[in-house]
Structure 1
Amino acid sequence: MSDVLTPDLCVIGAGSGGLSVAAGAVQMGASVVLIERHLMGGDCLNFGCVPSKSLIAAAHAVAGMRGARRFGIAAAEPRVDAAGVRDHIRGVIEAIRPHDSPERFEGLGCTVILAAARFAAADTLVAGDRIIKARRFVVATGSVPAVPPIPGLAEAPHLTNETVFDLDVTPAHLIVIGGGPIGLEIAQAHRRLGARVTVLEAARILPKDDPDLVKVVRQRLAEEGVDILEGANVSRVERGPDGVVAVVGERRIEGSHLLVAAGRRPQFDGLGLDAAGVEHTPKGITVDRRLRTSNRRIFAIGDAAGGPAFTHMAGHHASVVIQNALFRLPAKVNQSSVPWVTYTDPELAQIGLTEAEARKHHGDSVRVVWEPFTGNDRARAERATEGGIKLVASSRGRVLGVGIVGAHAGELLLPWAIAIDQGLKLKALASAIVPYPTLSEISKRAAGQFYAPALFGPRVKWLVRLLSKLG
C-alpha cells in the first residue's frame, strides 16, 4: 500500500453526480480524490442519456424523410445503415468523452484513481493500492438495469440499455419488456429504423405521467406500428428458432431480439457499506434530506440514494452535498419541482403534480387548463399540432403541476420549473411578452386562460359599460 491520502472530499463514482461534486469542490479550493472502477461519465454518457438521444436523433431523421410530403416535398423511403447508426452513436459519445475524462479532472486538480473501491472502516476507503481517509466521502455509484425474475430470462439472450446501443443490425422483431420512458423511447426509435416492435407492459405505459397526456403518446406509437400490450405479464422467456419467445398468458410472442427495460436498481455491490456503518436497502442508501447517511462522514447522491433516477437530479444532489460538506450549510433536497421528460415523438414532459395527485391533495379547489398546440401558429407552420399543455393550479393561481405533450415539450418546461420552484403565480407568465411565432407562446396562453373566466366575465363587462357612460 502507498501513502494514505487525506483529502477534503473523496468521491466514489465518476458518473454525472460524482463528476459534478468533484468539479465543483476542487474549483472551490477543496482537495478531491475521484474514484471510478469502470467508465468515466457513468451510465449517462456511456449507456443512457447520450446514446439514447443520439439513436432518437437518427430515428427522427428517418421519420422526417418519410413525412416530407406534408410540406409539399416528395417523400422518400430511406435506406437505414444500422452499423452507420451505431457509429453515429459512438461518435457522439467520443466527442463528449474528453469533458468527462481523467485528464480533464486531473487538470482541474483532482486525484483520479481508476479502481474498485471498498470501505475498510467508518473513516477509511481502499481503492486499488491506495488508502483514503477523507474528511467527507460521497457515494455516487449510480444504478444498473434491473432484470426481473422472469423464468427463463437469465438463460435467454437479452439486451439492456448497456448493450442495445452496440447493435449493428436492425432487429427483425424487437420485443421490449417495460413500457416506461426508456422502453418506449427505444421502441419508437427502432420502429422508425425499420424493426417490427412489440412492447410488453405489466401495468400501463408511463404510469407516473398524466393519463390524458399518455393517451397522445400511445396513439402516435400505435399509428407508427408499435404494438403495445398493456396489462401483459410475461410468465416466462424462452430461446426461440429466430431468437427469443416471450410468453404472455396463452400467447407466444416470437422475436429476434429482446430488450429488458423494466427499471433500474442502485449499484453499491462490493463497496463495503456495512463496514462503514452505512444503512441501506435494495432501494438505495438511506439518506436524510441533506443526503447524509447513517455515517455522518458519508453522503450518498443520485441513483445510489434511491429516489428519481434522473441525471438532472444527480446534479441537484451534487449542489446540496457541496453546500453541506464544504460549507456546513444545511441545504436540503428540493423534491417539489423535479421535472422529467420522455423523449418519444411527441415528447411528454411533466413537473409537479398531475391532475389526479392535485385533486387528492387539494380537493375541488384545483383548476385545470388545457391549451392545445392547434392554437399555436408556429406549431401550425411546422405541422406539429399534436398535443398541448395541461396546467394544474390552485384557485388563487399558484402552479401545482404542468404536463406538456407535443414537439419539443421538454424545451418548453423551463418557465414552469421556475414558477414552481420560486412560488410564482400564473400572472407572471400571463403578463410576459413572448416572441411570435414560437412554441413557447403556448405557456403564456395557458396562463392567460386561467384568468379568462374572470377577465371576460360579467363583472368586467359591467365595469366597462359603467366607465363608458362616464365619457
Structure 2
Amino acid sequence: MSNPSSAQGPAAAARAFDAIIIGTGQAGPSLAGRLDAAGMRVAIIERHLVGGTCVNTGCKPTKTLVASAYAAQMARRGAEYGFSAGPVSVDMTVVEARARKVIMDSRKGNEDWLAGMANVELIRGHARFDGPGAIVVNGERLTAPRIFINVGGRAAVPEMPGLQDVPYLTNSSIVALDALPAHLVVVGGSYIGLEFAQMYRRFGAQVTIIERGERLIAREDADVSEAVRGILEDEGIEVHTGADRIAFERVDDVIAVSFQAGGKDARVVGSHVLMAIGRRPNTDDLGLDTAGIERDERGYITVDDHLQTSAPGVWALGDCNGRGAFTHTAYNDFEIVTANLLDGEDRRVSSRVPGYALYIDPPLGRAGMSEAEAMKTGRPLLFSKRPMTRVGRAVEKGESKGFMKVVADAETRRILGAAILGTGGDEAIHGILDMISADRPLDELRWAVPIHPTVSELIPTLLVDLAPAPDRG
C-alpha cells in the first residue's frame, strides 16, 4: 500500500503497472480479480470507502432499511393475519446499527478480497491523470497501458433559493440517521426519494414528497406512476407534484419548504429535508483533460460500445459513464470489458437489455421498454395487463396492490418490455428479462409450465391475453 508520508514527487521515476483501476465500486474489485488471475500487476486506487455506493450508501444499507420498514409494517397488520403484536414502535438506533453492520461486513469483505490478490496493490488516495497513461496519487506517479475509471457518482444538489442556509440530507447521509425525524420532507419523487419516503413513513415519521414533474417517476408509464402514488398516499404520505419555485428557509429549529403548485402557493414545514433529485458523476476532479478523455455536458465520461473512452487504453465503467445507473449495469460493464480484453469476445453495451427495480413495497420490476417507449417505435404492438388482485399468490399473502403488464411486437412476436408492480415483482420480472435477452418468441414462454402458487405463474396467462388494443384501466 502506498504511504503518503514517503510519497515521491511527480518528477520522480514512475512506478509501472500492467493496469490501473480508479475506484473500488461494483466493477473495480471484480476487474482486479480477473486481471490478477491473468498475471497482471494491478494498482487499484480508492480515495474514500472501498465498495463504492452500493456497499456504503446505496443498495446494501437501503435495502436493509427497507427490510426493517417492511417488518414494522407487517407487525402493524398482524390482526389481518390472526395475531397481535401490540403497538409497534421503532428503535432507530437498532435499525441504523443493523444497516451499519451490513455496510461494514460488506466493506471488509471487499477489502479482504483485494488483499488476497497476489498481484494487486490497493492504494488509498485521490487519483488524478497526469497525461496519457499516467496517474498521480499521494504525490507518486503511476503508469500503465490500461487504465479503468470506476469512480461512480453522488447526489446532485443544484442551487435552490435558501438551500445553502438549511441542513439537508442526501442518500449518503440519511442512511446514518439514528433518530426518527418528526417530519421528513423529500424533495424529489423518483426512485431514491420514494424508497426513503415509504420506509420513514413506516418507521413512524410524517412524510411529504415534493416533485417538480407533473407525476412521480416520470420515466415510467403514467399508470405505473399513478399506482405508485396511490400506494404511498394510502400509507399517509402527502404527495405534491408539479411543484415550481421550490425554496427553503430556516425557522427556529424547523425547515420551511415553499413552492408553487397548480398556480397556488404552498408551504410545508419539516424537521428534516432529504434532497433526492438526481445523481452526478464523480468526474470533475480527475484531470481527465490532461489525458484527452472527453465528457458530455452532464459530466459523464463518453464511451463507445466497448466502454472505451476517447483516450487510447482507457475505459470507463459504472455510473461515471452514463450508460447505466445500477450496481448490476456496473458489474455488466466489468463483464463486457474483461470478455473483450481477456476472452477474445466482442461484447457490447448496446446488447444489454435494460432492467431494474424500484424497492418500495410492493416493488416495481421493469424489463426492456416501457409502453410509451414501445409506442414511439411505430411498430404494430400487442398489450396485456392484469391486476395483482387476480394473482393467487398475492391474494394469499394479503399483498394484492399493483398490476403486471407486457408489451410485444405483433409481427416478430418478441416481448419488448414489461412491468410488474406487485409482491415479488422484482424477482418475477426476470423470466421476462431473460426472454428478451435471449431474443426468443413469446410463445416459448407462453408454453412454459410455471410453479403454483407463484407470481411468475401468471406470466404465461398474461401473454395469452395479448391483444392489439391496450387495456388502460
> What CA distance in whole angstroms lies between the structure 2 residues aligned with 1:28 and 1:334?
27
In the alignment, what sits opposite 2:429?
Answer: 413
2:116 counterpart letter in structure 1: G
Seen in structure 2, the aligned counterparts of structure 1 residues 29 and 440 have a Cα distance that, compared at 3 Å, is farther
Residue 133 (1) aligns with residue 149 (2): no
Aligned partner of 2:101 among 47, 68, 91: 91
Structure-to-structure mapping, 1:302-451, within 5 angstroms: 302-327=318-343, 329-334=345-350, 336-363=352-379, 365-396=380-411, 397-450=413-466
Does the CA contact (< 8 Å) of 1:6 and 1:135 recur in 2?
A: no
In the alignment, what sits opposite 2:81?
Answer: 71
> What CA distance in whole angstroms lies between the structure 2 residues aligned with 1:28 and 1:226?
53
Counterpart secondary structure, 2:466: helix
Mark the runs of 5 or more structure 1 residues left unpaired by the alignment.
Answer: 454-471
In the alignment, what sits opposite 1:462?
Answer: none
> What CA distance in whole angstroms lies between the structure 2 residues aligned with 1:76 and 1:135?
64
> What CA distance in whole angstroms lies between the structure 1 residues aligned with 2:129 and 2:216?
40
In the alignment, what sits opposite 1:246?
Answer: 257
Counterpart secondary structure, 1:121: coil
In the alignment, what sits opposite 2:209?
Answer: 199
Normalised TM-score (structure 2): 0.91
> What CA distance in whole angstroms lies between the structure 1 residues aligned with 2:94 and 2:409?
50
> What CA distance in whole angstroms lies between the structure 1 residues aligned with 2:336 and 2:124?
26
Does the CA contact (< 8 Å) of 1:157 and 1:243 recur in 2?
A: no
In the alignment, what sits opposite 1:168?
Answer: 178
Does the CA contact (< 8 Å) of 1:152 and 1:238 recur in 2?
A: yes
> What CA distance in whole angstroms lies between the structure 2 residues aligned with 1:251 and 1:199?
13
Residue 106 (1) aligns with residue 115 (2): yes
- The Cα of 1:7 is off from its aligned counterpart by 2.5
Q: Deviations over 1:354-380 (max 9, x none)?
A: 1111111034x1110112222222222
Q: Deviations over 1:228-256 (max 9, x none)?
A: 10101243111122321111132221110
- The Cα of 1:62 is off from its aligned counterpart by 0.6
2:30 counterpart letter in structure 1: S
> What CA distance in whole angstroms lies between the structure 2 residues aligned with 1:420 and 1:358?
14
Aligned partner of 1:52 among 51, 62, 70: 62
- The Cα of 1:129 is off from its aligned counterpart by 4.2
> What CA distance in whole angstroms lies between the structure 1 residues aligned with 2:382 and 2:141?
58
In the alignment, what sits opposite 1:258?
Answer: 273
> What CA distance in whole angstroms lies between the structure 2 residues aligned with 1:107 and 1:3?
28
Identity of aligned pairs, percent?
35
In the alignment, what sits opposite 1:37?
Answer: 47
- The Cα of 1:29 is off from its aligned counterpart by 3.3
> What CA distance in whole angstroms lies between the structure 2 residues aligned with 1:98 and 1:426?
44
Does the CA contact (< 8 Å) of 2:382 and 2:467 recur in 1?
A: no
Counterpart secondary structure, 1:362: coil
Seen in structure 2, the aligned counterparts of structure 1 residues 26 and 448 have a Cα distance that, compared at 3 Å, is farther
Aligned partner of 2:223 among 192, 208, 212: 212
**Residue-pair matches, total:** 451
| Aligned CA-pair RMSD | 1.9
Counterpart secondary structure, 1:78: coil
> What CA distance in whole angstroms lies between the structure 2 residues aligned with 1:393 and 1:94?
44
Seen in structure 2, the aligned counterparts of structure 1 residues 328 and 295 have a Cα distance that, compared at 3 Å, is farther
In the alignment, what sits opposite 1:227?
Answer: 238
> What CA distance in whole angstroms lies between the structure 2 residues aligned with 1:57 and 1:122?
46
Aligned partner of 2:31 among 3, 10, 21: 21
Does the CA contact (< 8 Å) of 1:153 and 1:236 recur in 2?
A: yes
